[in-house]
Amino acid sequence: PPAVPRDESLDEDNFDKLVVFRDTHGHCDVPLSNAELGPWVKDLRAAYTLHSEEDDASLTANFIQRLEEIGFRWTIPLNKDAAWAAKFDKLKEYAEANGDCFVPLKHKELGLWVRYQRSLYSKMEYGEKSPLTDARIAELESIGFEWKILKHPKKAGPVFI
């Protein structure tokens, strides 16, 4: 199928916002959770993949060059330590706002991450291999993280861990 033309004025507006993001954060690795730029950056990366694989012209060579000149990366290597640290920061914000680390599963991404940390700890207790380190355990405990909970202290009913 032919390429869908890009909205050049939107691309230019977002390019300017991306430069501001880079100047503020020191990089162009906009997280998807950034409502203003995240979806646009994801779309750019998808369009670039099509451009590379299918000679799709929805991204011009000039626009690609401009993005690369400001440090835009087309692929982001997975850094597990950075990903863990980012989730920990979100949990810390949650704990500061809510007074605890009991993140319900309705907070999908963070709730699942918290549940996963507890499952990794449980593995360690049973002598199984786990990527959870003593340093991470200490970090979590420093913000009031509890490993074993049977009931949410503020709500009746079981909490599944």
Angstrom distance (rounded) from CA 6 to CA 44: 10
Cα 113 → chain centroid: 11
Angstrom distance (rounded) from CA 25 to CA 20: 9
Per the model's pLDDT, the better-predicted residue between 103 and 149 turns out to be 103
Provide the 10 A C-beta neighbour count for residue 57: 14
Q: Tell me what pLDDT residue 151 has.
A: 61
Provide the 10 A C-beta neighbour count for residue 131: 10
The pLDDT tens digits of the residues spanning 26-73 come to: 899 888 888 999 999 999 998 888 766 655 567 888 999 999 999 999
pLDDT band at 112 (very low <50, low <70, confident <90, very high): very high
Entry pTM: 0.51
